[in-house]
Amino acid sequence: MKSKLFAILMLPFMLIYTIPAAAEETKPESREWRDENIYFLMVDRFKNGDTQNDYKVNVKDPKSYNGGDFTGIIQELDYIKDMGFTSIWLTPVFDNDEKGYHGYWIRDFYKTEEHFGTMKEFKKLVKEAHKRDMKVILDFVVNHTGPKHPWVKDPSKKDWFHDQKPIQNWNNQSEVENNWLYDLPDLNQENPETRKYLLEAAKWWIKETNIDGYRLDTVRHVPADFWADFSKAVKSEKKNFYLLGEVWENDPGKIARYQESGIDGFVDFPQNEYLRKIFASSDRSLTGAFLSIKRNKENFKQPELLGTFMDNHDMPRFTSEIVRNKQNPGTRWKLALSYLYTAPGIPIVYYGSEIALNGGNDPDNRRLMGFKAEKEIIDYLTKLGELRNKYKVLTRGTMEVLYDKGGMAVYKRQYKKDTFVVAINNSSKSRTIVLNKEDLDKNKELRGLLEGDLVRSKGDTYKIILDREKTEIYALADKTGLNIPYLLLMGTVYAAFIGFVFLLVKRSRKKNK
């Protein structure tokens, strides 16, 4: 009884110090693609949830099927969601040639790969993801088939492919689009029959499984006019269907020309090149990343729909660069993720990054996921996801760089009435930065949402002190302090309450006598 009375008495005092919401929260019903956090996984390498479909599985062979399947993904949907991810991107799930564990050697566009599970199980995966308010993006390949596709030896399908020639001049767009990439049979999208088949298959998967988007493989190897037809076809099937294109170029101008085809966003390879260099070691400036953001604004109509990332299934894992530089993977990954989650663009995190999974070139970068690992990065990633999902200013806000020197960077994001300040110390020393009224409104305070720091303005300035290799995300808000009128009111309430309790006790004693 005494403990309950104490809790009641302390509640108002606790409310005095409660910090009100510092920014507008993202409501589920208003979530847009720019608000997403994408978890990218290779189906075969994520989790083996059903051993019944383990045909010729060999976990010791990195070029064979390792057992991952739809059931395994379903079993770990909560794990993915709990880290703050709102979408999952899957490598192709179509029936593949032998040893096509990665999904890119398609044999049948209308069947699931038997190693992954049945169509019924894939539909269940999509349904379970939707139950958790998560979207599903499926990798779709139209440039080529697997080397053993039945069409390759079918005389009636000769015109469905381009003549077998390797790409020799990568600056020749005709060769890039018509010649065979890595000796894979190159589909001829100019053929009306081929084009119709591919468009119908893309529409069929949407109607049949209710997926939410496609990641489009090898976009630059397919004519732009085909992508225009593709975009119209799939978006006629489902409102707000998202198309994420892969154009492996370091020139944003060359990537941007495909946005006229109706592709919504692109995997941001130009910025990735900067990010890997910046965060692989300390004392490296973020200038390159900020320059890339500026170029994106100049080239893209919707730069906020670009997918930002540190690594993927086609390049050595970022952890390998960290290790090569003799750095701490946990520290380096946390800094990199801090940037991805607070800068413009949709963060895409390759499975295993949350445990700093290592790996070199393909197929070493496609190791089996491990679920028994330290949670240092997982916990940090979860906090970042929580903030990004909660505050629209981190997904929709404008961006202004306030400071950038020697690895220390501070930038401001604003959306409607909200202002966030992100400070990233990518240097090997603690740093002190002073912001003034030209940067932020005076007579306010910066509330740290990641590390709990609090910076109150002194006059017209804000002094941010940040330890080496740390990040803080601040919300600009009115200064907190004691609310005198509130305290007087509560004092009166407490006096009356104590008087009431005193009378009850006195009356109770008289009754007992």
Residue-by-residue DSSP string for 282-342:
SS--SHHHHHHHHHHHHH-S-GGGSEEES--TTS--HHHHHHHTT--HHHHHHHHHHHHHH
Task: Decide: 385 and 85 in contact? Cβ < 8 Å.
Answer: yes
List Cβ neighbours of 198 (8 Å cut-off, separation of 6 or more). Answer: 109, 142, 187, 189, 230
* DSSP assignment letter at 181: B
In the three-class reduction of DSSP (H, G, I as helix; E, B as strand; rest coil), residue 135 is classed as strand
**Which stretches of 343-372 are DSSP H helices?**
none
Catalytic residue among 121, 217, 268, 354: 217
Q: For residues 422 and 54, is the Cβ–Cβ distance under 8 A?
A: no
Helix axes 376-390, 329-342, angle to 10 degrees: 10
- Residue 499's contacts (CB-CB under 8 Å, 6 or more residues apart) are none
Task: Check if 139 is active-site.
Answer: no
Query: Cβ contacts of residue 154 below 8 Å, gap of 6+?
Result: none
Contact 70, 43 (CB under 8 A): yes
Q: Are 149 and 161 in contact (CB under 8 A)?
A: no
d(CA 248, CA 208): 30
Backbone angles phi, psi at 265, to 5 degrees: -140, 170
Which conformational region is residue 292 in: left (phi greater than 0), alpha (psi within -120 to 50 degrees), or beta? alpha
Smallest CA-to-CA distance from 331 within 377, 385, 381, 289 is with: 377
The CA–CA distances, whole Å, from 83 to 18, 136, 273, 348, 381 equal 26, 16, 26, 13, 6
Catalytic residue among 69, 186, 246, 418: 246
SS3 512: helix
Q: 289 phi and psi, to 5 degrees?
A: -65, -40
Q: What is the largest CA-CA distance in the chain?
A: 109
Residue 246 falls in the annotated catalytic set: yes
Identify any residues that bridge with 243 across adjacent strands, giving them in sequence order. Answer: 214
Catalytic residues: 217, 246
